[in-house]
Amino acid sequence: FIAAGVGVVAEPETHQYTLSAASNDRYIVLGSDGIFEFIENDEIIEMVEKCSRPKDACKLLIDESRKRWQIEEGDVIDDCTVVVIFLTFPDCTV
């Protein structure tokens, strides 16, 4: 109840999307609002594209998020949690 008083909600924002090799889907980025507060989606894509491993992409996103939080908010840094999943699709012949 205390957290709800400062804006914490128990309902996550969700989206449904069908993944496919044809749509050129390469990765999934799941993160807390602390990641997306000061980094735009296009920037996140550029950052993940630079990485060869999901672990490196996570570290880059977290480090950049924390840096931007410090610039914008000083001592206040929101939770910065992220999971990056690289996708591979097997070649299929019908």
pLDDT tens by residue, 39-54: 999 999 999 999 999 9
Amino acid at site 1: F
Report the length, in residues, of the chain: 94
pLDDT surpasses 90 at 55? yes
Q: How confident is the model at residue 92 (pLDDT cuts 50, 70, 90)?
A: low
Q: What is the model's pLDDT at position 94?
A: 47
pLDDT surpasses 80 at 7? no
What is the average per-residue pLDDT within 28-36? 93
CB-count exposure of residue 57 (10 Å: 0-12, 13-18, 19+): buried
* Mean pLDDT rounded to a whole number for the chain: 88
